[in-house]
Structure 1
Amino acid sequence: MTAQDTAPRAPSLDGRTLAPVADQAPGQVGTGTRFAYHERDGVVWADYAGGDVARGHLVGTRAGDRLDFRYVQLRTDGTTASGHCVSEVTALPDGRLRLTETWEWESGPGRGTSVVEELTTGGRR
């Protein structure tokens, strides 16, 4: 793999706020959840909250337009959960970013796919 293979094609996630385009099952992220992303030198991290999630954190790496990260969250019902996610970053025609995610809980059963998109400054897609 060359440096060009791992260089991001879509812009950096740093300073961007993203939200799911659809609700997941209860106790998971949903359209009310907001992810505040940071990125530096191939490292990505985010804080998130909203909906059924009181507080969540994720940390991982970016190689090209592929993210690989672990996440942990505290739900509003007081339970905790953790998992692993691999996402593909794409730039939308209007310049916003989209993450197409494949995730799996590590703290219990369950896996799935989801899409999160960057919000505009007004908080809408």
Structure 2
Amino acid sequence: MPRSLDGLVLAPVADQAPGQVGARTRFAYHERDGVVWADYAGGDIVRGYLVGTRAGDRLDFRYVQLGTDGGTASGHCVSAVVELPDGRVRLEESWEWESRPGRGTSVVEQVTVHGR
């Protein structure tokens, strides 16, 4: 199983649609005893939170966020935890909004002290 997410900062590798998580968004992850949670902000996101579970290399969580436009949104995400050859962590995500129509995939990777 890839290493713990606790204390890691992850960022999207590419921008999503406007008003959603983007390359300037940062996720601060925590993990303990199969429970994962994170807070995130940056870009078009003022504040976001996620909470869920981890079983092996699979995360299953729900998220809620506030955008810079004042709108809120929530959804569900399932992610595969992958350890990259350089030792960083990547999450390969499949998500679906629950508060509005839409679904998609995204990738977030661990940010190093040098920014990526």
- Indicate whether the TM-score tops 0.5: yes
Q: How does 1:16-35 map to 2 (within 5 A)?
A: 16-35=8-27
The aligned residue for residue 41 of structure 1 is 33
**CA RMSD, 1 decimal:** 0.4
How many correspondences in the alignment? 116
**Which structure has the greater CA radius of gyration?**
1
In structure 1, list runs of 5 or more residues that go unmatched: 1-8
TM-score using structure 1 length: 0.92
Structure 2: unaligned runs, 5 residues or longer: none
Q: Which portions of structure 1, spanning 4 or more consecutive aligned residues, are displaced by more than 3 angstroms?
A: none
1:100-121 alpha-carbon deviations (Å, 9 max, x no partner): 0000000000000000000101
Q: Please name the residue that 1:106 is paired with.
A: 98
Deviations 1:24-69 (A, max 9, x none): 0011000000000000000000000000000000000000000000
More strand by share: 2
Identity score, percent: 80
Is 1:96 aligned to 2:88, yes or no? Answer: yes
